[in-house]
Structure formats: C-alpha cells, structure tokens
Amino acid sequence: MAAISPEQLPRKLKESFDKGSVALDRGNIDYATNFFSQVLAMEPRCLAARKNLRFVQVKRALAKKPSLSSVKGAFTLMGGQGKLGKDPKAALAAAEKLMELDPTNLSFLKFYVDAANGADLPEAAVMTLELARAALPKDVDFLNLLAQVYIANGNPGAAKECYAAVCKLRPNDQAAIKRLKDAAALDTMKAGNWEDTKSDYRTKLKDQKVAARLEQEHRTVQGSGDVNALIAARLADIEREPLNMNFRRALADLYLKAARFDDALSALDEAEKAAGRTDPQIEKMKSAIKVKKFDSQIAAAADAEKAALEEAKAQFIFEDALDMAKRYPNDLQCRYELGVQYFSRGQFTEAIEEFQLSQRNPQRRIRSLYYLARCFTQMGQIDLGFDQLKKAKGELTSMDDDKKDIVYEMGLLAEQMGRTDEAVGYYKEIYEVDITYRDVAKKIQAAYSKKA
C-alpha cells in the first residue's frame, strides 16, 4: 500500500485535509482530529494526514496522561490482533482507534507497528513511534522497539542513537551494549555501500576497518603537512577502490580542512557520480562548503571588498534555500530554512507561508511559531503575533532557551498593547531562572522602582 500525498487525494478529501490543517494551525485540536480522521477513514494511504493526526494525539496525551487506557483498549487490541494477516485494513483501523485512546501506551504501539507493516505502510510505524518518543524519552522498552523499527526500515544510524540512549540509562546492560555495537556495524556497512550483493564478507570486514582507520586518522591530524599526506593517501585509496564512498567523503573532509574548497566540492560531485544518484545530505554538505568558502574570502578581503562579499554570501544562502524548498517541497526542514531567509530579508508574507507549513514538523514547530509571531508583529498584527507565542508557550514545559525567547517576546507585545502588569509577569518568569537573559533584570528593576 504505497503512501500518497495530500495533492493526490480526491477533491472532497483534500478539502477535509486542508480544513484539518487550518484547525491544527489555530490550535483547534478536536476539529483537526475529526478532519484528519475523516481523511484516513476513506484513504488510509495519506501519510501526511496520519502524521498530523498522530501529532495532535500525542500532544493531547502529553497535556493529560490517559488513565486506564490498557483496560479501556483491551477489547479493541484483542480484536485487532485477530485481524492481523487476515484483514490488514481492519487491523490498521483498530490500531488507529488505540492511538486515539492513548498514543503513548507501549502495548498499543507494538500492535500499531505490526498493523502498519501488515498494511504495507512501514513509514507510518516509524512516524508514529518518532512522535511518541516525546512522551517516552527514558522508556527502555520503547527505545528498543523504535530501534528495531529503524533497523527494519534501513536506518541503522537512528537505531544506533536509540541504543546509545538505552546504554546511557542502563550502562551495565551487556545486551544493550551488544545491540549498540551491532547497530553501529550495520550503520558502517550502509555508509560503505555494504548492501551491494557483489561484496563478500571479507570485503565488508575490510571496509569496516577502513572506516575506523579513517576516523582515527582525522582525529590525529596536526597540521597542513599531515592533511596533505592524508589527501595523497585517500587519492591512492580511491584509485584502488573507486566505488568506496568512505574514501570519497573522507577526501572531501580533508580538502575542507586544508581550505581547498573547490577540490572538496569536486570530490563530493565525484562521490555522487560514483554512487549513481544524488544525495540530499551531500547536497547540504556542498552548500555548507560554499558558505565556508565565502567566509574564507571575506576574512582575507580588503575592507572595501568585504561588504560586496557579504552581500554575495547572503544572496547565495537565500537562493540555495529557495532551490532546496522547490526541489524538496515536502521537506519541512527546507521550508523552515526558507522561511528564516524570507524573514531576514523582510519578506514577511512569504515567510509566514513557509512557517505555517514548517510548524507541522514537530522538531521545528516551536521556532516556526516564534517566527510567525515576529512576522505578524512586523506587519503590525500584534494580536495575531501574541496568539502564536501563547500557543508555543503552552507546548513547552521547562524554561529553556526557546521558551525564554517566546516569553520575552510575549512581554514585549504585552507592553505594546498597554498591558504593563502582564508584561512584567512574563519578564518575572524568565528572571526567576535566568537573571542574565537580555535586559530582563533592568525591566524587573524598573518595574519595582515604579512601585516604590
């Protein structure tokens, strides 16, 4: 059952999806849930609807932990398990009912993985567990389940990170340590193109040793002479094994250390040619190298030339973000980065469009809401800006850097709206945990001086 995009939905279902998205943007959780559920009932292949639905379900669970969910969902779970292998669509529907009841219940999540795999939607299983992780960051059984799903879906690097978290929680668990080592080995195999069936065991074992040696060499580089010697060694390695991606990436890294930016870019171009495909990660590496090249030119330029180079760098970063968003329109990280570029250029309407999309990425939601607020504020729509900040604040618990930024902006907007006491209350929230944040200490002292 191949996943489909919202654009592939029939008109009526696309309208429901869009209404759900609007409701989600406005924080209307119940409406969003209803609309996305309607879409999935008619078209279970729409992964975007399923992802948005799961996001609001997990958000609700984090706000108020469901009670007695195992008891309430027992019959649904047993009935769904009976449909596994017989009626995949019905099993997945039962799994969705359990997610609505409690998307953080481990038994429900295990069944959801089985149901999604049975319906040939493994990406739904991955997405569901990734969103549930926010509620179960230290649950060892959950982390092991997520790691297993990552490995089954060809992502040993993510599995390695999960097993590392388990080992941190249980440092003396030998089984966990072994699983971490196995995942690391699989990740090395994948990085070295070990999935090539033409490679035998001895070749793969050799490749693993090569990867370890390259890493050690990079750690021990002392000066330009060492870098040049390693570059020569990598070129010899590539001539001997032209399809080994470890050597090509290492060569690009060394060129970058030697500030040979054009050579680094050429090495990455050759890596893609050798692989026979484009690689989004390599494209991002190229962009980062080009920015470093600009930085190097700016540092070496005369004062009269610096401004022009800074402008050229800013223009490149903007055009690169625009190009990536066009090529990967469903990559919400790309949309977020483009939104930041629009914001920095004062194109607030365009930035709002990007941030309204990128807020659906759980990893970028808070910063997207923050930027949305600043965009609305810059356009004179202070009340709308305040609403975005209030929404973001409600989704954060600890007073981390993001929350400080958000609460501080709420204080500034409250002042602009003439709500002075409310503004001081926001500044106090920050002052109580970080007296050095911006000018919050001065604001608090000024408020007390007025009362004196």
Give tens-digit pLDDT for 49-85: 888 888 888 888 877 777 787 888 889 999 988 888 7
Q: Which of 90-94, 148-152, 183-187 has the lowest mean pLDDT?
A: 183-187
pLDDT tens readout for residues 153-211: 888 888 888 999 999 888 888 888 888 888 887 776 665 444 444 444 444 444 554 55
pLDDT tens readout for residues 106-145: 999 999 999 988 888 888 898 899 888 888 888 999 999 9
> pLDDT at residue 392 above 80?
yes
Neighbours of 67 (CB within 10 A): 9
What is the residue-averaged pLDDT of the chain?
85
Neighbours of 307 (CB within 10 A): 11
> pLDDT at residue 100 above 70?
yes
The pair of three-digit structure tokens given for residue 272, joined into one six-digit string: 């893609």
Q: How far apart are CA 448 and CA 450, in angstroms?
A: 5
Res 197: pLDDT: 41
H or E element in which residue 407 lies: helix 401-416
Distance of CA 64 to the CA centre of its chain: 25
> pLDDT at residue 214 above 60?
no
Res 380: pLDDT: 95
> pLDDT at residue 261 above 90?
yes
Contacts of 155 (CB under 8 A, 6+ apart): 126
Looking at the domain that runs over 1-123, which CATH code has it been given? 1.25.40
Residue 124: closest CA among 93, 82, 166: 93
> pLDDT at residue 222 above 80?
no
Q: Which residues pair with 4 in a beta bridge?
A: 46
% of the chain residues with pLDDT over 90: 38
Instruction: Choose the most confident range, by mean pLDDT, from 2-11, 91-100, 404-413.
Output: 404-413
Q: How far apart are CA 95 and CA 292, in angstroms?
A: 48
Categorize the per-residue pLDDT at 372 as very low, low, confident or very high, splitting at 50, 70 and 90: very high
Where are the chain's structural domains? 1-123, 396-452
Res 1: pLDDT: 54
